[in-house]
Amino acid sequence: MGPDRRLARAGVACATALACLIPTAARQTVTAAAATTTPSAVGNASVSWLAVSPGYQRTGLVVAMVSPLTNCNGCIQLWVSHNGGATWSEAAAKGWNKSRPSIAYDGKGHDTIFAAASTGLQRSDDGGNTWTDAGPSGSMATVAPSYPADGSLAVAGAHDYILSGGQTHAATGSGGAYTDYVFSYPPSSVSGGSSPAALLSAIDSHSLPVILQCDQALSCHGAASLPGAGTYSAPTYLALSSDFASDGVVFAQSGRGVYKSSNAGGAFVQLPITGTPGAAGTATPMLALAPGYREAGPVKTVYVSVFQVFADPKNPHTTGGVYQSSDGGTTWSAAGSPSPLDGGSTAVAVAPDGRLFAGYMHTAGTQGSAGLLCSVDGRTWAASCPSVGSGDVNAAANAGSANTGAGGCSACPASSASAGGGGATPAGGASGGTNGQAPGGGAGGDGSGANLAATGSKASTAGSRLVLPLVLAAAVLAVLGGVSALWRRRTAKRV
């Protein structure tokens, strides 16, 4: 069975389009929902992905993929900060393929943003304002630890490859045994010892996630599964310990939960993140490790975004937050509660100085709000944090082409923009404009996207109070995982 058929069997195609999850009547009700006023760096918009530059302390670059809840039906925007979250602006994103960005830092004060999709690998050297072709197609680009020296990055997809010095070199990956999705490197190159040079997150023929160990040439072997993984668990994203060469610790995040391996990805155990009991669905959209995480300590802090849906007709609402563990995943608690994140978190990222960035989306009845916050201490959250870095000079020179403020929508198709505030798109996973792709695809809760879809169908006849949380839940399902270039090409013809 080919990789495109495997991904189709995974069920992610429908998970990324609200039309497949929620009936038309429910979607129409959502567009009339009023948004509450809550602090946010990007306005009333759902954050589906965050990326922080490795050179953040010098350039201050942070990137967020967002979808506004109002005035921008179905569009996906790229927002950037060049001062560590003190101020944000919407990038012009000319030619951007709307895929999840990865940031590479050359060590000399300049950032490059990469994005891989079925149309090819792209790069932006001006903070996301303009994009140019950089290589063949792929599902996601991963910056190598050696990038400052040789400009290398790895791209997984139908044909895995390494891009170095402007030249592409084929990589074996899983050798076609699985659908390869994303490579993961340790923070520094592994030399000697028993730990592999890299790991590969892939999808097997049953649409379940597997993790493979890779050598320097990205030839990968083995296939560790995630215990209890089911529908919409794939694909997964990996975060490796800063001391991976010695401790072999790696965390895996899927839409249904998070896992940990202490033997370099050879086997995984699920971590006990439960959130609030009684939820109809629980999702874990993103995970991040504190800088300098080592199993031997002293830093053993892990952060996970948690989003939960409570489908009670009398009190429909969402909860969650950024959960943190300071003991390597054994115990968990909400970071900085109470805050807007208590209504549910859709993304989380950590900067090299320990600063946190997190997306939230909160609903209660027919009221909904979303946005982006930051925290310098993990206890208090705000729309703006103190300035960091002097900024990437190349990006700053081109910043005038970006739109600032919280209400613009330069990335919207003309037919999607709304001047009156209607036409809300529930979250970042809605079908992405002309190319029919979304920033993610996955599910949470009890592992059944179909169950939430069925609940949404019931909601359409149960009254408008239940509609919004369930539609947003469906949208979060679309935010959670990622989809490969082959899947994007296949579904683009259907949307």
pLDDT tens, position by position, 221-254: 999 999 998 877 888 999 999 999 999 999 999 9
Q: Are 262 and 295 in contact (CB under 8 A)?
A: yes
pLDDT at residue 199, as a whole number: 97
pLDDT per position as a tens digit, 470-489: 444 444 444 333 322 333 33
CATH of 3-391+439-492, one of 2.40.110.10, 1.10.10.10, 1.20.120.80, 2.130.10.10: 2.130.10.10
Angle, helix 467-480 to helix 449-462, in steps of 10 degrees:
160
**How far apart are alpha carbons 7 and 252 in whole angstroms?**
19
pLDDT digits (tens, 9 = 90+) for 18-58: 222 222 323 333 332 334 457 999 999 999 999 999 999 99
User: 213: closest CA among 226, 194, 196?
Assistant: 196
User: What residue spans define the domains of the chain?
Assistant: 3-391+439-492
CA distance 115 to 441: 17
pLDDT in tens, 123-157: 999 999 999 999 999 999 999 999 999 999 999 99
- The DSSP bridge pattern shows strands 89-90 and 153-156 to be unpaired
Segment 399-411 mean pLDDT: 40
Q: How confident is the model at residue 190 (pLDDT cuts 50, 70, 90)?
A: low
Residues 119 and 389: beta-carbon distance below 8 Å:
no
pLDDT band at residue 392 using 50, 70 and 90 as cut-offs = low
Query: 409 versus 19: which is more confidently predicted?
Result: 409
Torsion, Cα 53 56 58 60, to 10 degrees, reads 100
CA 462 to mean position of chain CA atoms: 32
Length of the chain: 495
How many of the other CB atoms lie within 10 Å of CB of 379?
11
Q: How confident is the model at residue 85 (pLDDT cuts 50, 70, 90)?
A: very high
Report how far residue 482's alpha carbon sits from residue 480's, in angstroms, rounded to the nearest whole number.
Answer: 7
